[in-house]
Amino acid sequence: MPYLLIGEGYTVTGLVRRNEHAEQIKSSRASCVSGDWNNKDTITKQVLKHDIAFHTATADHLPSVEAVLDGVKQPAQRGETTVFIHTSGTIVLDDCAEGKSKSDKVYHDDMRQETDGVPDGAPHREIDLAIVRAQQKLGEQAKIAIMIPPLIYGFNPVHRRLTIYIPTLTRFAIKHGFAAHIGEGLSVESNVHVLDLARAYITLLHHLEESKPKQTLANPYFYC
């Protein structure tokens, strides 16, 4: 995603945990800051230096999300607007079928009440709810969205990185002589290529930039 943003004229800084990842980010002409998810001060300071924040590292780490939100709140208190896009995942919609059936339930991201109706104890939901509560408190002074992609797969030729799920499942199948599945294997999950997801983030960013704050406050959820 950094190379797409930079190609459109944005200035980008990435928080990275490993030196090799820093080199990959720098190949996109982005700047890098070293740290991890628990470096709350570092995260907040970086958010304060930028008008836009993406959280794509994990969907289940509350302290790092709180750090981003702290960086969003301070400009909001001054009447300035910051864009924040967090990454959740469609496992939040898990129906606990355990491979026994394919659900007929369809979720629509233009019908907020459907996603709001997901149980509070669902995967990722604790973090999503923290963001929704913060959005309600900040009101129209922050444009906040939650991107909800399914299983992410594929190779990024710019950063020379491969997503982990397909290789992990493939290695298991080669080692054991069969493809792993849960229960009877009747459950279904969608998937998205990592490069398509990157383009979706840019599309969502432009939508938030062009929308009135009241519109973004009405519904934070976006499926991809």
Please say whether the beta carbons of 154 and 195 come within 8 A. yes
Q: How far apart are CA 111 and CA 124, in angstroms?
A: 19
Q: Which domain holds residue 76?
A: 2-223
pTM: 0.91
Q: How many structural domains does the chain have? A: 1
CATH number at residue 126: 3.40.50.720
Which tens digits make up the pLDDT trace of 22-59? 777 777 788 888 888 888 999 999 999 999 999 998 99
Other Cβ atoms less than 10 A from the Cβ of 87: the count is 20
Which tens digits make up the pLDDT trace of 169-215? 999 999 999 998 889 989 888 899 999 999 999 999 999 999 988 88
Please say whether the beta carbons of 122 and 89 come within 8 A. no
Which tens digits make up the pLDDT trace of 126-168? 999 999 999 999 988 899 999 999 999 999 887 778 888 889 9
Burial class (CB in 10 A: 0-12, 13-18, 19+), 184: exposed
Please say whether the beta carbons of 43 and 35 come within 8 A. yes
